[in-house]
Amino acid sequence: MEQGYFEIPVLRMSYNNIESDCEQELRHLLPLAAKWDGDAQYRAGQILAQGLGGVAVDLLEAVKWTDLAARKYHHSAAVALQAMIDHWGWDVVGEGKRRAFRWQQELYNAEDGWPADAPDEFLAFMRADASPGTGLAFGTKLNNRDGGPSDYEKAFRFFRFGAERDGCAECAHRVGNAYYLGKGVKADPIQAHVWLMPIAKNGHAGANLLLGLMAARGHGVARDTTAALHLLQRAEQAGETDAAILIRAINDGVRIY
């Protein structure tokens, strides 16, 4: 047990903070969290997850802030997020992760002076006679803030259109990635597997990398380091440099969060 901490369900909290005015603390934390302060995001997630100091429990907001911190490589947030998955399951965590990307989208669009969502007219390009590559092109545009507003939900729909109509492997990869991260759709690692596995078998480097990571974490499948290493080695052979880092970590006995 770490000095100054004790174990409670899901998360660890400091002795010194249990009796603090957490409502006031949260009011100070949220503006910092909105400026991508990983420590503030992590702490806000803890308070909301446990309802500390009389703060109302809000599991989805707790997941949202914890997920945002974890994506900024905040190790404690990554550990906490795994605990949330273990205790609350993907039904809660999947929606919380979708909410995190929705918040991110709205923040980016406000910074760039765009409305919160791309206009619905974009979706008119998803038609039967659309030129090949439309799904990938428009999905990437909406996903990457390319000269207009971000819209992860519409990007997801374009990627799915490209995968289903054109058989676009990269579109399928983007769909699987969205299902795993919760980017424009409720996170669902089982659906991520459905989309990623066929293109991984055909040698898609990114799909093998993500499936290897999911196997190492036990997301959507039972945690299996042997399977993870096999997938990551395929990703490395296909040119994914990040795969080598994960392979070394797993071989060194590091737990992947």
pLDDT at 19: 44
Nearest to 59, CA basis, from 22, 34, 85? 85
Distance CA 128, CA 124 (A): 10
Nearest Cα neighbor of 43 from 34, 54, 53, 33 is 33
Q: How many CB atoms lie within 10 A of CB 237?
A: 12
Reduced to 3 states (helix: H, G, I; strand: E, B; else coil), residue 124 is helix
Q: What is the pLDDT of residue 11?
A: 41
6 forms bridges with which residues in the sheet?
A: 13
Q: What pLDDT, on the 0 to 100 scale, is given for residue 98?
A: 98
Is residue 7 classed as helix, strand or coil in its secondary structure? strand
Q: What is the pLDDT along the chain (257 residues), one digit of tens a residue?
A: 232 222 333 344 444 444 468 999 999 999 999 999 999 999 999 999 999 988 999 999 999 999 999 999 999 999 999 999 999 999 999 999 999 999 999 999 999 999 999 999 999 999 999 999 999 999 999 999 999 999 999 999 999 999 999 999 999 999 999 999 999 999 999 999 999 999 999 999 999 999 999 999 999 999 999 999 999 999 999 999 999 999 999 999 999 99
For position 20, what pLDDT does the model report?
60
Q: What is the enclosing helix (H) or strand (E) of 14?
A: strand 12-14
Q: How far is CA 126 from CA 105, 115, 120, 156, in A?
A: 22, 22, 11, 12
End-to-end CA distance of the chain: 20
**pTM, full prediction:** 0.91
What is the per-residue pLDDT for 119?
Answer: 96
pLDDT at 60: 98
177 token code pair: 């990635």
Q: How far apart are CA 188 and CA 95, in angstroms?
A: 9
